[in-house]
Amino acid sequence: MKLLTGNDLPTGDVIWWTGNGWSRHVEDAGDVADQGESIARVEEGARHVTGPYVIDATMTAEGPRPAHIKDRVRALGPTVRPDLTLKPADPTAGSWVI
């Protein structure tokens, strides 16, 4: 599957295109198929996102899993500071990244 991701312009938060909006949680990300570039253009023009780009991902039981480790780090947070990630209370969250 293809996901569209980027950063929120004023805050810098990592965001994922859900299909009709942006979420900070990769679990909400939807498959953009081949529409990613055109959605990105519209959304960037409307300043709903900055630096958008399309990535590969696979659908798993826990939701979409970005193909590249860099985007998994973006999705969760730094592997070396679990307390600063989106899932600070989950001790196994880091293994999803690696």
Contact residues for another protein, defined by CB under 8 A = 7, 9-14, 44, 47, 50-51, 67-70, 73-74, 77-81, 84
User: At its nearest, how many Å lie between another protein and the CB of residue 87?
Assistant: 14
CB of 44 to another protein, least distance (A): 7
- To another protein, the closest distance from the beta carbon of 53 in angstroms equals 11
Edge-to-edge strands, sheet with 14-17 = 22-23, 14-17, 2-7, 50-60, 63-66
Alpha-carbon distance of 4 to 74, in angstroms, equals 13
Nearer to another protein, 19 or 70 (CB): 70
Structure tokens that stand for 57 in this block: 């991902």
Q: Nearer to another protein by C-beta: 11 or 20?
A: 11
Minimum CB distance to another protein smaller for 13 or for 90: 13
Return the ∠ at Cα 77 (arms to 24 and 50), rounded to 5°: 45
Contact 73, 65 (CB under 8 A): no
Residue 61 vs 80, nearer CB to another protein: 80
